[in-house]
Amino acid sequence: MTTVWPGPEEWAAVLLSLKVAFWATLVSLPFGIGMALLLARGRFPGLGLLNVAVHLPLVLPPVVVGYLLLLALSPAAPLGSALASVGVVFAFRWTGAALAAAVMGFPLMVRAIRLAIEAVDPGLEQAAATLGASRLRVFATVTLPLALPGVLAGAVLAFAKAMGEFGATITFVSNIPGETRTLPSAIYAFLQQPGGDGAALRLVVVSVAVAVLAVLASEWLARRMMRRARG
């Protein structure tokens, strides 16, 4: 309780969380954009089911999601062992923590991006097509730029969710210092130790600071892009 500045063990947890959240957001973003586009503009049977599947992590207990990931990707499971044979291991690694965070944040990300894509005037996309632009070019030059504030909001939400993800992470990859002990796991662990509440409190302060910064940054960027999009 005497020192305000976090110690090396606490810093490790903060940096790990930032790394996990960064990669979780970055890698899931293309998938999130693709899924949002599919849900916003797609027309095929099973669209409703897909929508439900995407939203499941939002409503399922995080422990259940973590356990399902463990069942699917543990080295003993067929998928897990197949991935392990090509060198991709998730269970009890920081990559697993990133995967768990990505899965938990995915519905939030998709939702924000989907709303933004739905708000883009299809008339502008039609206009681009009449000017000779292929579907891909229409998406890259009209839909995506106009939906950018939403994409950004989705990414920030997913990042914040990843920073705070606890249940699925601890179930899937446990709480290994330096490997899978993220910020929330570290807070939890310190709270279990006698005399650990000082460290826990310092991490709480860091959590709050990161969250506030993230929200401020996203607001600033979103406003800038809104101005740009309005012309």
Cβ-based neighbours of 1, under 8 Å, separated by 6 or more: 197, 198, 201
Residue 134-173 contact track with another protein, rule CB under 8 A, x = bound? xx--x--xx--xx---------------------------
Q: What's the chain's Rg over C-alpha atoms? A: 20
Asked if 81 touches another protein (CB under 8 A), the answer is no
- Residue 110 C-beta: closest distance to another protein, Å: 23
Site for another protein in 88-127 (CB under 8 A): 121, 123-124, 126-127
CA distance 158 to 109: 6
Site for another protein in 32-71 (CB under 8 A): none
Closest CA to 164 of 33, 62, 67, 32: 62
Binding of another protein by 132 (CB under 8 A) = yes
By CB under 8 A, the count of residues binding another protein is 22
Query: Residue 53 or residue 124: which is nearer to another protein going by CB?
Result: 124
130 binding another protein? (CB under 8 A): yes
How does 8-29 read in b/e, with b if 16+ C-beta sit within 10 Å? eebebbbebbbebbebbbeebb
